Amino acid sequence: MTAPLVEIRGVSQSFGHIEAISNVSLSIAPGSYTVLLGPSGSGKTTLLSILGGFLTPTSGRVTIGGVDCTSLPPARRPTTTVFQDYALFPHMSVGGNVGFGLRMRGVARSERGRLAREALATVGLPDVFDRRPHQLSGGQRQRVALARALVVEPAVLLLDEPLGALDLKLRRQMQDELKALQKRVGAAFVHVTHDQEEAMALADQCVVMNHGRIEDEGPPDRVYARPASRFSAGFMGESTLMPFDVAAALPGLPPAPRDGAIAIRPENLRLERQPGLIALGEARVTTVVFQGSYKRVQAVSIVRPDLLFIARAEAGAAIAPGDICMPGCRPDDLIILSR
């Protein structure tokens, strides 16, 4: 295991009486893609601002590449940021924008132009050097912002909900490009989003945040398959969630931890009785939503009306609201959540 590039140790950030981040510790490996995932107000953007140097944490330390950066201004850190609204300078050409960081580092004009053109080519925009930002589409501006941040060769690139302003199709396309770009340039990317699909598609390391704390952290497949907490299970995908008392009412289930719950991912929940499955009682189907490749089914338990089953049925399954079904799942697919 290589030494971490970024180390965040016990960082807290208060705004007046509100603690936006409390006692967060996180390591980021060089050349990795880290996604900070959480709902608004979870502290993910605050943590990114602390990494970028726009905020000095109330307590704790941030080291990047072995250098204590806790209170170093943004200009003197090996980080650059891609802002949510791109923050392209409207009075400069695209080339002027991309070359800005080099200009601040005293790079000569001709060299600046060459490097800026190279960076633009890297993000797939070789022909926009002399245009103005307002002449570009949203997706193109996004790429220019990326080129501008990457041209100064940061050790860490910070991305603040970079795909938030793009339409869905473009967003999925940019996701793939971001991942490929990150592999190509080799810098560590730290990406903030509230979109779990984006997180799963991009992350080497997924950090789920809630109420200013890290709820869960790890590779996205692990976070999805074995979430560390109820919040993490609920935010990374959906699931049927059975708290302690609900689980106790269903025979065949192992006891749930007293403060925790048992969760089942929808793709693991069957709706008819089969050998080898744990039976979870009878349930009445409430909604069936056609999703293209499958049907999303919700059903309410007859024994425990506060228990909502979420399952995936085949796209061609004959199932309708009002039907009685027999939910069940394999013992291995039960996710035991201790909190």
Q: Among residues 51 and 223, whose Cβ is nearest to other proteins?
A: 51
What one-character DSSP code corresponds to residue 204?
S
Footprint of other proteins on this chain (CB under 8 A)?
Answer: 52-54, 73-75, 79-81, 83, 85, 87, 89-91, 100-101, 104-105, 134, 148-149, 152
CA separation for the pair 159, 86 (Å, rounded):
10
Cβ–Cβ under 8 Å, residues 42 and 211: yes
Structural contact between residues 292 and 312, judged by C-beta atoms closer than 8 angstroms: no
- Least Cβ distance, residue 15 to other proteins (angstroms): 11
Burial label for 278, CB within 10 Å (0-12, 13-18, 19+), is middle
Task: Compare residues 142 and 239 and give the one whose CB is closer to other proteins.
Answer: 142
* Closest distance of CB 18 from other proteins, Å: 16
Pick between residue 26 and residue 145 the one whose CB is nearest to other proteins. Answer: 145
Query: Which residue number, 60 or 78, has a Cβ lying nearer to other proteins?
Result: 78
- The answer to whether residues 51 and 82 touch, using CB atoms and an 8 Å cutoff, is no
Contact present, 198 and 179 (Cβ < 8 Å): no
Cβ 60 to other proteins, closest distance in Å? 21
The SS3 call for residue 209 is: strand
Intra-chain end-to-end CA distance of the chain, in Å: 30
The answer to whether 80 and 150 are in contact (CB under 8 A) is yes
176 membership: H or E segment, kind and range: helix 168-185
**At residue 27, what are phi and psi to the nearest 5 degrees?**
-115, 140
Residues 6+ apart with CB under 8 A from 173: none
Cβ neighbours around 208 below 10 Å, total: 30
Least distance from C-beta 151 to other proteins, angstroms? 9
Tell me whether residue 100 or residue 235 sits nearer to other proteins (CB atom). Answer: 100
CB of 48 to other proteins, least distance (A): 12
Token digits of residue 186: 């080799």
Phi and psi, residue 230, nearest 5°: -60, -40
d(CA 299, CA 73): 53
**Residue number, 90 or 322, with CB nearest to other proteins:** 90
Structure tokens at 78: 């090996």
| Residue 306: CB minimum distance to other proteins, A | 44
Work out how close the CB of 160 gets to other proteins at its nearest, in angstroms, rounded to a whole number: 10
Nearer to other proteins, 6 or 152 (CB): 152
Q: How far is the CB of 86 from other proteins (least distance, A)?
A: 9
Nearer to other proteins, 163 or 214 (CB): 163
